[in-house]
């Protein structure tokens, strides 16, 4: 794996335990130049404070509301002010209102479902389209990677984030179809449960996560995001140049078992 001289945008960096942070850390260790981005306000402020703890300083720390086209256009212009091309985009963004989680599936109003879908699924398409002119200029072909949680089955407490992740995985395939002729790969990584701020926001997350170390053939450490981050880095590299439209399972083998 070598990302030397590759220009990578990582959207969704919050705390040092967040997937976005670990992915940025892994990419930087492999030689990439990285721009970080997150939502305005507190998320962006936290991102700015922890950026200095990365192994190499990011090129910039930007903020944008991923649900607003004007923000994404401004984000693209800010990225363009640093780089003439973009070799990779990481979408590490997910959010659902509390009434869309925790066993409330039958009572969740559409407004909350719509919010979860917009932030966690549709935003993959809107983010990629906003920076598409930069991705098209990548000399060796660009790569887009998002994060999912196995959407093939129904999980306890996960509720409307399940259909949202199913939508994300489908969007991943359609983007791969449309962007492949432009030399752009699009893949997703299905991560086992990791104890991040996003995970902790799901009521009952600990009950869901505790079965992983018991059942995964390779075991699973819910506090260690590096296996997932390293897989994302692989997908950003030229070693994955013939892989697109896929969902790679990085879950200790949990998804391979029926019971």
Q: Quote the CA–CA distance of 236 and 239 in Å, as a whole number.
A: 8
Model confidence at 194: pLDDT above 70? yes
28-41 confidence digits (pLDDT tens): 999 999 999 999 99
pLDDT at 176: 98
Crossing angle for the helix pair 161-179 and 123-130, nearest 10 degrees?
30
145-184 confidence digits (pLDDT tens): 999 999 999 998 899 999 999 999 999 999 999 999 999 9
pLDDT at 36: 97
Largest Cα–Cα distance in the chain? 51
pLDDT at 28: 97
- In contact, 236 and 94? CB cutoff 8 Å: no
Residue 69 pLDDT level (bands cut at 50, 70, 90): very high
Q: Kindly state whether residue 39 falls inside one of the protein's structural domains.
A: yes
CB neighbour list of residue 233: distance below 8 Å, 6 or more residues apart? 1, 3, 23, 26, 27, 30
DSSP string, the chain: ---TT-EEEEE---STTSHHHHHHHHHHHTT-EEEEEE-TTHHHHHHHHHGGGSSS--SEEEE--TT-HHHHHHHHHHHHTT-S---EEEE------GGGSSS-GGG--HHHHHHHHIIIIIHHHHHHHHTHHHHTT-TT--EEEEEE---SS--TTTTTHHHHHHHHHHHHHHHHHHHGGGT-EEEEEEEPP--SHHHHTSTTHHHHHTHHHHH-TT---TT--HHHHHHHHHHHSGGGTT--S-EEEESTTGGG---
Q: Kindly state whether residue 2 falls inside one of the protein's structural domains.
A: no
Q: Kindly state whether residue 1 falls inside one of the protein's structural domains.
A: no
126-143 confidence digits (pLDDT tens): 999 999 999 999 999 999
Q: Kindly state whether residue 174 falls inside one of the protein's structural domains.
A: yes
Q: What total of structural domains would you count in the chain? A: 1
Top-confidence range, 134-138, 199-203, 213-217:
134-138
Look up the CATH number of the domain holding residue 18. 3.40.50.720
Q: Quote the CA–CA distance of 221 and 250 in Å, as a whole number.
A: 12
List residues bridging with 146 in a β-sheet.
91, 188
Q: Kindly state whether residue 191 falls inside one of the protein's structural domains.
A: yes
Model confidence at 70: pLDDT above 80? yes
Model confidence at 110: pLDDT above 90? yes
Closest of 162, 34, 22 to residue 92, by C-alpha: 22
Q: Kindly state whether residue 29 falls inside one of the protein's structural domains.
A: yes
Mean pLDDT of 193-199: 75
Residue 206 pLDDT level (bands cut at 50, 70, 90): confident
Q: Which domain holds residue 201?
A: 7-256
CA quadruple 125, 96, 214, 258: dihedral sign: negative
This prediction has a pTM of 0.95
Q: Kindly state whether residue 94 falls inside one of the protein's structural domains.
A: yes
- Name the percent of the chain lying above pLDDT 70: 96
pLDDT at 1: 73
Model confidence at 205: pLDDT above 80? no
pLDDT at 235: 98
Residue 199 pLDDT level (bands cut at 50, 70, 90): low
Q: Kindly state whether residue 148 falls inside one of the protein's structural domains.
A: yes
Q: Which one is predicted more confidently, 216 or 195?
A: 216
**1 C-beta neighbours (distance < 10 Å), count:** 17
How much is the CA Rg of the chain, to the nearest whole Å? 17
Mean pLDDT of 239-251: 97
């Amino acid at each position: 794996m070598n990302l030397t001289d590759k220009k990578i945008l990582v959207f969704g960096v919050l705390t040092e335990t967040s997937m976005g942070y670990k992915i940025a850390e892994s990419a930087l260790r492999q030689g990439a130049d990285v721009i970080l981005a997150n939502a305005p306000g507190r998320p962006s402020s936290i991102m700015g404070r922890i950026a200095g703890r990365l192994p190499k300083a990011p090129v910039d720390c930007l903020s944008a509301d991923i649900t607003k086209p004007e923000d994404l256009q401004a984000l693209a212009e800010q990225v363009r002010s640093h780089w003439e091309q973009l070799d990779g985009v990481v979408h590490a963004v997910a959010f659902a209102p509390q009434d869309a989680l925790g066993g409330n599936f039958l009572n969740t109003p559409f407004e909350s479902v719509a919010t979860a879908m917009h932030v966690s699924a549709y935003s993959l398409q809107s983010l990629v389209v906003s920076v598409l002119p930069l991705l098209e200029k990548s000399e060796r072909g660009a790569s887009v990677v998002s994060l999912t949680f196995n959407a093939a089955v129904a999980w306890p407490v996960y509720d409307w984030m399940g259909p949202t992740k199913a939508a994300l995985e489908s969007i991943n395939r359609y983007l791969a179809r449309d962007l492949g002729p432009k030399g752009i790969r699009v893949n997703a990584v299905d991560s086992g449960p990791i104890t991040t701020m996003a995970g902790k926001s799901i009521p009952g997350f600990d009950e869901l996560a505790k079965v992983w170390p018991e059942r995964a053939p390779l075991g699973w450490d819910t506090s260690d995001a590096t296996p997932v981050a390293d897989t994302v880095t692989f997908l950003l590299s030229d070693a994955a140049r013939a892989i697109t439209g896929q969902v790679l399972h990085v879950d200790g083998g949990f998804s391979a078992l029926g019971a």
